[in-house]
Homo-oligomer: A and B are copies of this chain.
Amino acid sequence: MNDSIKPTERTRVKRLPKRGNYDREVINAILDEGFICHVGFVADGQPYVIPTGYARIGNDLYIHGSAASRMLRGIAEGIDVCVTVTQVDGLVLARSAFHHSINYRSVVILGKAELVETADEKNAVLEAFTEHVIPGRWAEVRWPNELELKATTVLKLPINEASAKIRTGGPVDDEEDYAMNIWAGVIPLKLTKRDPIPDDRLADSIAIPAHVINYDR
């Protein structure tokens, strides 16, 4: 049996339920592929949605940022949040305008985040964060010192109430439209790296390391 997350009234996918998925393996794969989430929270009754980086360790999602961030300070106080990660996989071109769609995989996590307090745990999260965004990087950089760890707020959100929503495959047209003389199919999309740009102040003697050359999403 798969390790599934029990859907709640709040996370069950109601529109097009066959797109919903609650398997941890599926949810984790989507989370591990991306590195930018959108964090939703409420302040003075107004919802805010802010993009930020994240990493997953086991069944917890971590976000981090400056200790001076109003958003993180608010979230650290235990308010309800929604963290959403979306991968766009392609444009679905149908014969009718109505049936055009987008192939995507998204995860929605609801819950309350808690503050990561100890320097050791913070450090472990920053390592996971760096390695999540660019594997092989952590071993080659200068690690955070005590002051930097203090200046970094790290929040942990347990992945307990979550669901994935996935659309794959080609267009689904109305039966009578299949006879029309219109091209239909999918344009796949992928976030792709371009050639690395060395820092202006980089010494000529420093070669591009393997973890940058081989980097791919």
Contact = CB atoms under 8 A, between A and B. Distances in A.
A182 B140 contact: yes
Contact of A184 (B83, B93, B127, B198): B198
A195 B189 CA distance: 9
B49 A141 contact: no
Nearest to A126: B97
Nearest to A65: B15
A142 B199 contact: no
Interface residues of A, number: 92
B70 A15 contact: yes
A148 B170 CA distance: 20
A15 B66 contact: yes
Nearest to A68: B15
Contacts of A80: 45-47
B183 A212 contact: yes
Interface of A: 10, 14-15, 35-36, 38-42, 45-51, 53, 66, 68-70, 80-84, 86, 88, 91, 93-98, 100, 102, 104, 106, 108, 110, 126-127, 130, 133-134, 137-138, 140-144, 148, 151-152, 170-171, 177-178, 180-203, 206-209, 212, 215, 217
